[in-house]
Structure 1
Amino acid sequence: MFSTDKLTMIYGDRVLFQDVTLHFHARRRYGLVGANGAGKTTFLKILKGKQPPTSGIVQIPKDAKVGILDQDYFRFGNKKILDIVLMGDNELWKALEKKEKLLKKGEMTSSEIESLSEIEELITRKGGYRAESRAAQLLSGLGIDPKRHEDKLNTLSGGYKLRVLLSQVLYIEPEILLLDEPTNYLDIFSIRWLERYLCDYPGTLILSSHDRFFLNQVCQEIIDIDYGEMRRYVGNFDHFLDEKKKEVVFKEAQLESLAKRKKDMQRFIDRFKAKASKARQASARERMIEKLEEEEMGYQIFPSSRQYPHFHFPIHRPSGRQALTMKNIDKAFGEHSVLKGISFEVLKQEKIAIVGPNGMGKSTLLEILTDHLEADQGSYRWGPHTKWSYFPQDFHRTLSDELTLYDWLTGVSKEIPEQKVRQTLGKMLFDEQDIHKKVRSLSGGEAARLVFARIMLSDQNILILDEPTNHLDMESVDALVKGLKEYEGTLIIVSHNRYFISEVANRIIEILPIGINDFNGGYEEFVEKHEKDYLDQVSIKSEKGKKKISERKEERKERNRLKREIENLEREIERSEKEIEEIHLILSAPNFYDETPPNKLQEILNQKDRLEKHREKILNQWEDKQEEFDSRY
């Protein structure tokens, strides 16, 4: 479908990536991964044509429709929500505007009538008379209430604004779709809808995300930016992680083997170099050692650009058994009620995830519990010996831009020793030079880690975290998960990150229009039990959506079975290719054909032939299964 050729991006003396040549195919979904600052967003900007590379080219067909997620809310703030989606097709939108302008005019000249006829033809050709229903369908699928479709964008919260702009991209049904962190600020249910939509997407999809569950569900291939290079892996994110580990193990084994061969040769050289009769053989082995050292370069294991912070939340004094009690909490903003009749208790050491669609008041509830908002009605009471520490969703409000990192951190308590402050900053990946940086110079991920450093230094036994993973890369999320699993206090979290919730929470509280649904168990169990009801409410009103629940369930089961078969075949293809590559390495070894007995050589060549035939067979099976999947789903 499109490709990059020797693409290179260099900032100053830092190489983000170099000589990247990749081919992207139709009906394939690619996940772009790498540490914060590795170059994911830069690569997407280059593909979009919004940033020139240092060298190299991007080859996209001129007539290809490219969909790009625009997260500039201010550009559309005063526009109607439905109109913003229609603006995704710029040509159609301009035609609709011209038509409206001409019709408002009343009496028209002959040239204007002719122009109107041409406009009508264009609108018909582009399906303009069902445009509003298609736009409304997309908006509803992403959880935008049909009653709000005529409202202006600036009346929505940040999460809902993002959904509208996502609908705008999806509206044009692009052949190439580029998404940079599309799940940020979407609630869990909207992410599930987006997954289903993207899995059925017929074009080429490239997305960057820190949500590993989302990457696993959606992506068929992973492009990893690390070591200053980009590499493609067939399979989802978990498969990519397995392959990365296998690569390191394979390289270590090769290096060990090469080191042993070098050692044996060096022993021969040391023993026989002085003997005239063996001098020639010793000299030959010296040359072979040089070649082995060149070969070692190909197995070099570079330090990864990925870094893992260390989250540790010590408790100085545990709370009482009853950590928190809430009774009939109500909260409204004007005529819009966000919380109604919220009552539940929290016990010591429970790890609770509060879930529900955006706009249901999850963050509002946390703001009430931390005294940043007042409830309209109801009450809450913290239990004996409780001390909470809070990570708000808009955590930047807690920072002081003009202070240094060290000065801001010591604001927790002047009694904390300087060495402990420095150690805590180090755990959050800040070095000695960073300590004296101004807070305003930090990236989003760095600022989030700084806030966590302050929480780690605070005296607490309850953590209240609102969307803590939004600005963290996957390595930081993994580290945070580890820290929270080890945490011995009480945890209350709001998050859209399913991997995070699934790993950490042991109780789920779903906020409903009135009251709550209290589920004692992990998030995966919660989804299994409650997914059906939610799908009935928000599924797109298509023929698929009208099927009986049992039929839909069977269809999902069959789809997942076929998807698993395709993924297994992809793994088998990759295994075959690696085995063939290993044989090529053996065959290309110096003096291999001279030193290998004929029967052994024939055995290796036969094995190579068998592997190549097996790979061809698996490739044909993969093509058949992929074609079946594409035609059915």
Structure 2
Amino acid sequence: MAACGDYIRTEFPSIDDDLYKYVEGILDSSRDDFEDGDEVYEAIGEVLHEVADKPEKEVRKICRRLLAMLKGTPDGELHVGNDKRNNGVNKVLNAPVNLGAMAATLEDQVEDIKSIWVTTRDDGSKVDAKKLEKAEAKLQQKLEKRVGGDSGSVNRNVNATVALETASASQMTSKKDSRMEGKGGVNRTQDIRIENFDVAYGDRVLLQGADLTLAFGRRYGLVGRNGLGKTTLLRMISSKQLRIPTHVRVLHVEQEVASDDTSALHSVLECDHERSELLSREADLQSALDQGGGDSIGEELARVYEAMRLAEVDKAPAKASAILSGLGFSVERQAWPTKSFSGGWRMRLALARALFSRPDLLLLDEPTNMLDIKAILWLEKYLQSWPTTLLVVSHDRNFLDTVPTDILYLKAQKIEAYRGNYDQFARTKGERERNQQREFEAQQAKRAHVQEFIDRFRYNANRASSVQSKIKMLEKLPELKPMEKEGEVTLRFPEVEALSPPILQLNEVSFRYDSSGSNADFLFTGVNLTATLQSRICIVGENGAGKTTLLKIITGKLSPTRGTVHLHRNLKFGYFSQHHVDQLDMRVCPVELLQNHFPGKPMEEYRRMLGSFGVSGDLALQTINSLSGGQKSRVALALMCAAMPNFLVLDEPTNHLDIESIEALGKALEVYQGGVILVSHDERLIRMVCHELWVCGDGGVRCIEGGFDEYRRIIEKELEAQKS
């Protein structure tokens, strides 16, 4: 590959690193599959044309040269002739071959072989529906016989009626795969390949004929618009509704840890079943030995000790404690029983257990939602050295730029795979889309030109053969589709009237929840905060430092223990709480929700309000329960803005929004004419919107000079000190 790399750099000196890595990755991964220079050109030709304005003939020559380097063949031995598969070398048969007889013989020998002489295509107009149903029924019976009572088998009846709240998956498995799994673990690869599968949620088909490949040891970021089925796909994998090798251990962090008397540290340790079994066995053998057991007991105990040494049982508590500490559990809190933690902290415990147990495939769904910025930075560093396979759904752009080695993109009921982090994915995807559109436009121009010739000489007897040739050529052209761009997400906050300052002032504000407590019980003291309609303030800090409490004091939901809050008489807050989405009436549709809260307006007005936040068309008439988390968040934002606030107080508004919606939220807040105070852990949104950074912690609230960069530097310094 080094020679190929040098050759590419020589021929295309202007190629950037991302495209170079992309081309190099394709050549490296497909070197054994390429059979001629044309196949290399089909794989990377478009990218090379984009890099340099070279004629097609020259780029094809370069591709043939690259193939020669990959195959270790002297360039002179690669020829372009009529027989491209044999590099131009004509092979002479000793005797004529009857292809029909050969095909019949092979079909008798192998039950499911496909003809290698006939190219078939999917043509729905020529399929007999009844015959197809019978064939599928026979195939279903054969598959059921093969897999027998396997608990991992999937429901293959795609047309089964499913309740709205449930999801179903179907997957066609090849006979080869069934035989491999039937050999009792002969194929022990840790790679996962799920081919040609469907996923449906109620009567909505989320994925159809999709393929998913997860190579062991790689970290995959699963991205796509809200409502396309990312979370559902994770659940299908973890529930074994999609067929994966039975020896692959899968863990999906979805539910919080049970609330009981088990300490946080012990809760993490007990998920290592091998360690628990070894310790239990050691205790039993030691008891037997104390009671006068013989030499056999001592020998077995020695074997258990050796197994404990290999499993590093003695190091487990330190490892578990380090993980808990990174996720925000102090040494003191690690000894607390799980029942003393809130739901959010028990979700952190579930994440800690997963990180400690190290399954073969770890599934994470929005892991940063429950974490503060310090814990997110720790998790990013921890996952960068994750030893097994990781599949994570996230809408945190910075997290996706830092953790994944690959991006899986859900679009149009398919999964597209891209090498690299999110930033590389965005560039490569844009390049692909531009190339696809150019190729489509070029083909359309060619079609129009040929069609013009056909129409002009259709009835000219002298040109009949040329016309027929052109018609056949048109029929053979592949069916290219124009680039379908996803609709851009736009959010619009209502216009507000200017207010003369002062707008909002907090003077020497202190707060504690227990009014009879001591000074040590204060959450924060001496807070002085001034805000105007031009303010863009972000409040950050560790969980429990008082960020949400401060917002509630600002909006009047809590009264300060000491100090005063001065507000402009015409100031009207729009408050978006972390739990705002959960408090929506899930039984009604978004239009009805607005009608119930703001009755008496025309239907068009409710539609307009929802449309300002990307909830339009049929989406506005679906029950809120059936919407994705991000769509619910946009409904909640629309409900908040229906009251026409002139100062927005937003507590973690990005928790369920997809990347495009977060980008749209940032742009909308930039042009909003009212004031903004924001609590968020999304680094990209903070950098887009906020001009001031207030840090909650150590019993106070202070302004950070240097903004988010300085805050990040402080956190990284703390993490380094914690690590040492």
- What TM-score do the two structures reach when normalised by structure 2? 0.67
- Aligned with 1:79: secondary structure? coil
- Is this contact kept in 1: 2:509–2:564, CA < 8 A? yes
- Aligned with 1:410: secondary structure? helix
Shift of 1:78: 3.7
- Aligned with 1:73: secondary structure? coil
More helix by share: 1
Report Cα offsets for 1:243-280 as digits up to 9, x if no partner. Answer: 22222221221122111111221222222222222110
Report Cα offsets for 1:269-300 as digits up to 9, x if no partner. Answer: 222222222110111001111222xx2x2444
What's 1:210 paired with?
Answer: 395
Comparing 23-32 with 348-357, greater Cα deviation is found at 23-32
The answer as to 2:487 corresponding to 1:312 is: no
| Match runs of 1:123-272 below 5 Å | 123-272=308-457
What's 1:327 paired with?
Answer: 507
The answer as to 2:273 corresponding to 1:87 is: no
Aligned residue among 357, 360, 381 for 2:545:
360
Q: 1:139 to 1:101 in 2, by over 3 A?
A: farther
The answer as to 2:724 corresponding to 1:539 is: no
What's 1:529 paired with?
Answer: 710
Comparing 1-10 with 274-283, greater Cα deviation is found at 1-10
Q: Distance in 2 between matches of 1:430 and 1:143?
A: 36
What's 2:256 paired with?
Answer: 73
Q: 1:332 to 1:109 in 2, by over 3 A?
A: farther
Amino acid at match of 2:221: G
The answer as to 2:212 corresponding to 1:30 is: no
Shift of 1:480: 1.5
What's 2:192 paired with?
Answer: 3
- Is this contact kept in 2: 1:254–1:299, CA < 8 A? no
Amino acid at match of 1:152: P
Q: 1:134 to 1:45 in 2, by over 3 A?
A: same
What's 1:605 paired with?
Answer: none
Report Cα offsets for 1:186-240 as digits up to 9, x if no partner. Answer: 1111111111111122333221101111101112211111111111111221222
- Aligned with 1:340: secondary structure? strand
- Is this contact kept in 1: 2:227–2:627, CA < 8 A? no
Shift of 1:108: 4.9
- Is this contact kept in 1: 2:210–2:413, CA < 8 A? no
Report Cα offsets for 1:558-585 as digits up to 9, x if no partner. Answer: xxxxxxxxxxxxxxxxxxxxxxxxxxxx
- Aligned with 1:256: secondary structure? helix
What's 2:143 paired with?
Answer: none
| Match runs of 1:552-567 below 5 Å | none
Q: 1:499 to 1:154 in 2, by over 3 A?
A: farther
Amino acid at match of 2:270: M
Amino acid at match of 2:451: Q
What's 1:40 paired with?
Answer: 230
- Is this contact kept in 2: 1:227–1:303, CA < 8 A? no
Shift of 1:118: 6.1
Amino acid at match of 2:553: I
Shift of 1:26: 4.2
- Aligned with 1:58: secondary structure? coil
Report Cα offsets for 1:43-68 as digits up to 9, x if no partner. Answer: 323443x1413xxx4347x3x555x3
- Is this contact kept in 2: 1:84–1:165, CA < 8 A? no
Q: 1:102 to 1:315 in 2, by over 3 A?
A: farther
Shift of 1:322: 2.5
Q: Distance in 1 between matches of 2:287 and 2:545?
A: 41
Aligned residue among 360, 370, 374 for 2:555:
370
Q: Distance in 2 between matches of 1:501 and 1:101?
A: 56
Shift of 1:137: 1.2
| Match runs of 1:398-413 below 5 Å | 398-401=583-586, 404-413=589-598
Aligned residue among 204, 221, 241 for 1:52:
241
What's 2:642 paired with?
Answer: 457
What's 1:446 paired with?
Answer: 631
Shift of 1:22: 4.3
Amino acid at match of 2:215: H
Aligned residue among 325, 344, 366 for 2:529:
344
Q: 1:103 to 1:361 in 2, by over 3 A?
A: farther
- Is this contact kept in 2: 1:188–1:496, CA < 8 A? yes
Report Cα offsets for 1:520-579 as digits up to 9, x if no partner. Answer: 6xxxx53432334333333375xxx44xxxxxxxxxxxxxxxxxxxxxxxxxxxxxxxxx
Q: Distance in 1 between matches of 2:623 and 2:233?
A: 28
- Is this contact kept in 1: 2:360–2:388, CA < 8 A? yes
Q: Distance in 2 between matches of 1:5 and 1:421?
A: 44
- Is this contact kept in 2: 1:313–1:487, CA < 8 A? yes
Report Cα offsets for 1:402-437 as digits up to 9, x if no partner. Answer: 555334313554454432112222344445655555
Shift of 1:171: 1.4
Q: Distance in 1 between matches of 2:657 and 2:232?
A: 18
Structure 2: gaps spanning 5 or more residues: 1-189
Q: 1:27 to 1:405 in 2, by over 3 A?
A: closer
Shift of 1:398: 4.4
What's 1:591 paired with?
Answer: none
Q: Distance in 1 between matches of 2:581 and 2:434?
A: 42
Q: 1:113 to 1:345 in 2, by over 3 A?
A: farther
Q: Distance in 1 between matches of 2:292 and 2:511?
A: 58
| Match runs of 1:403-442 below 5 Å | 404-414=589-599, 416-431=601-616, 435=620, 438-442=623-627
Structure 1: gaps spanning 5 or more residues: 547-633
- Is this contact kept in 1: 2:289–2:297, CA < 8 A? no
Whichever of the two has the greater Rg, that structure is 2
Q: 1:432 to 1:16 in 2, by over 3 A?
A: closer
Q: How many percent of aligned residue pairs carry the same amino acid? A: 30
Q: Distance in 1 between matches of 2:471 and 2:624?
A: 56
What's 2:483 paired with?
Answer: 301
Q: Distance in 2 between matches of 1:266 and 1:372?
A: 71
- Is this contact kept in 2: 1:368–1:374, CA < 8 A? yes
- Is this contact kept in 1: 2:440–2:480, CA < 8 A? no
What's 2:688 paired with?
Answer: 503
The answer as to 2:567 corresponding to 1:382 is: yes
- Aligned with 2:556: secondary structure? coil
Q: Distance in 2 between matches of 1:191 and 1:421?
A: 38
- Aligned with 1:183: secondary structure? helix
Q: 1:16 to 1:169 in 2, by over 3 A?
A: same
Number of residue pairs matched by the alignment = 527
| Match runs of 1:600-615 below 5 Å | none
- Aligned with 2:335: secondary structure? coil
Q: Distance in 2 between matches of 1:453 and 1:124?
A: 58
Q: 1:153 to 1:538 in 2, by over 3 A?
A: farther
Shift of 1:330: 2.7
- Is this contact kept in 1: 2:535–2:691, CA < 8 A? yes
- CA RMSD, 1 decimal: 3.0
Q: 1:77 to 1:380 in 2, by over 3 A?
A: farther
Q: Distance in 2 between matches of 1:124 and 1:194?
A: 28
